[in-house]
């Protein structure tokens, strides 16, 4: 990932509604959610939601698939992985084993 790509991705997440949408779609996995369900779950009006979804699609973080009259939005994990790799590229002065990692499950997160 190039610097300007990272800036675009980070910029798309630097807004509360878009970050909530992204996190919701992360939880949904491959199934994704239709726009109407996203609107209901997050309480975001449909016109506003449409704008935010477009920004996330343009950044490559999510994609959309038209299914009949509805559009389903899904996470693009490859793009998020590219961002994480870019951010961690020079972690701890070239010693990534020094960087803390977290393991999370339903009971919480543990540093390990």
Which parts of the chain register pLDDT below 70?
Answer: 94-112
- Model pLDDT, residue 73: 97
Strand partners, 102: 111
Q: What is the number of domains present in the chain?
A: 1
Spatial distance between the Cα atoms of 67 and 72, rounded to a whole number of angstroms:
7
Output the domain CATH number for residue 39: 1.10.10.10
Give the residue numbers spanning the domain of 53. 3-111
What was the pLDDT predicted at 93? 73
Q: What is the pTM of this model?
A: 0.79
Alpha-carbon dihedral 24, 25, 30, 34, rounded to 10 degrees: 100
How is residue 97 annotated by DSSP?
Answer: G
């Amino acid at each position: 990932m190039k610097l300007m790509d990272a800036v675009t991705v980070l910029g798309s997440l630097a807004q509360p509604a878009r970050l909530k949408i992204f996190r919701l779609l992360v939880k949904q996995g491959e199934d994704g959610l239709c726009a109407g369900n996203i609107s209901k779950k997050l309480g975001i009006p449909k016109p506003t939601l449409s704008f935010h979804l477009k920004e996330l699609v343009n950044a490559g973080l999510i994609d959309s698939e038209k299914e009949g009259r509805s559009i389903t939005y899904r996470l693009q994990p490859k793009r998020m992985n590219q961002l994480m790799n870019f951010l961690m590229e020079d972690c701890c002065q070239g010693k990534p084993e020094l960087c803390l990692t977290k393991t999370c499950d339903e009971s919480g997160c543990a540093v390990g």
